[in-house]
Amino acid sequence: MGLFARLKQIADIGFCGVVVNVSLFALLSTANRR
């Protein structure tokens, strides 16, 4: 159970990191295009 919870936590952090990186990249590309 502990290992599964840790894996789920890592997966959640990774997913959030991907979302943040994608949104930051989109913001930067739109700002550079202006």
pLDDT digits (tens, 9 = 90+) for 7-29: 899 989 999 899 999 999 999 99
Q: Does residue 30 have a pLDDT over 80?
A: yes
Say which DSSP state 6 is in. Answer: H
Q: Does residue 34 have a pLDDT over 90?
A: no
- Measured in whole angstroms, the distance separating CA 22 from the mean position of its chain's CA atoms is 7
Could you tell me the pLDDT band of residue 33, with boundaries at 50, 70 and 90? confident
- The amino acid present at 7, given as its one-letter code, is L
State residue 1's pLDDT score: 67
Separation CA 18–CA 34 (nearest Å): 25
